[in-house]
Amino acid sequence: MEYVYGKILTKDGFITGHLGLKQDKRVGELGNGAPPKKPIAKGLIIPTCVNAHTHLGDSFIRFTHLQLPRTVKDLVAPPAGLKHRLLKQASEQEIFEGIRKSLVEMSTAGTSCFCDFREGGLLGVYQLRKAMKHCGVDSMILSRPSQMTYEKEELDHLLDNSDGIGLSSISDWEPSEIEKLAKHVRKKKKLFALHASEVHREDIDRVLDLHPNLLIHMIAATKADLERVNDASIPIVICPRSYLFFRLKHNLKLMKNTGVTLLLGTDNAMINNPDVIEEVKALRKTGVFSLEELLTIVTYTPRKALNLDDCIQGRDLSEKYIVLEKDSLKLVYASK
């Protein structure tokens, strides 16, 4: 049996110990203290990561090395943001190759599951599923209507082929259209998620009246807004590197103090590589969260919040795990 040794992240925090590995590299033993023989890797031992918010469809833009505008409206706001114009101009093969490259990057970085806001209607869902065929990473696909209107037939097709719907903010939609859409998604018992209060505070009553299962950003929300989200038990996904890119102010201390459930995502793949550990590093520099809190936010918390069961087994043993260098958080070992 081979071993990895160090601080093992459990649901209750770090313990010092070792994992004994079977021939297939799955965990066969969890022990306290040092292993009986020299380990093959040492460091911080954690389950593989969950990237709770991605837009992989725009990956191809990152590889064109364009000079991108640094405002949310100009770059990503539908329907006229640069991202959406470039998506319309790109060939299906360009989009596919970009997604495939991002999936390889995620897998190499120790991510085993991601939640993608899938633009482009049903075609967008098919593009992602095609790219995922041989990638070894699990997904939660939140599709999006091809137009910003409620069309029952299209929505039924989307929900039959995805895990739910992921929308831009309420500011982009006519209230009656988004209300009908949200009601339809709830009736089908699928996940409903949307961006909220990213640049400017949005009406929390309108947001919560849609009964979302997941909110993205909320960095312009007030303390009262966050308390209501916490009371409603709705997780919030934050994307620190995206805020740095757009030079957006954030309310991370307020989020921590109000106790909202936080997840981490890498946001648009045209801006950042989809390595969620890079988000951990960015947040670590703020001093708001401990390293233990941050690593829990990308492992155990999203699996509970999103009802995932992609690799955690038993008490804390993991079929898929990674070992990170203690100080740099560089990946030094990953189970296959």
CATH number at residue 187: 3.20.20.140
Give the chain's radius of gyration (CA, Å): 20
Does 73 lie in the same domain as 31? no
160 within some domain: yes
Note the pLDDT tens digit of each residue in 278-303: 999 999 999 999 999 999 999 999 99
Does 204 lie in the same domain as 167? yes
CA end-to-end span of the chain, whole Å?
16
CATH number at 24 reads: 2.30.40.10
Does 53 lie in the same domain as 42? no
Residue 52 φ/ψ, nearest 5 degrees: -85, -5
Does 196 lie in the same domain as 179? yes
For the question of whether the overall pTM of this predicted structure is more than 0.85, the answer is yes
Q: Is the per-residue pLDDT at 318 higher than 90?
A: no
Does 178 lie in the same domain as 142? yes
Does 323 lie in the same domain as 184? no
Note the pLDDT tens digit of each residue in 189-243: 999 999 999 999 999 999 999 999 999 999 999 999 999 999 999 999 999 999 9
Note the pLDDT tens digit of each residue in 54-82: 999 999 999 998 999 999 999 998 888 99
9 within some domain: yes
Per the structure, the count of domains in the chain is 2
pLDDT of residue 315: 43
Q: What is the separation of C-alpha 29 from the centre of its chain, rounded to a whole number of angstroms? A: 30
β pairing state of 2-10 and 13-21:
antiparallel
Q: Which domain holds residue 182?
A: 49-305
Note the pLDDT tens digit of each residue in 231-257: 999 999 999 999 999 999 999 999 999
Strand segments, DSSP code E, in 119-202 are: 138-143, 164-167, 191-196
pLDDT of residue 221: 97
257 within some domain: yes
Does 140 lie in the same domain as 118? yes
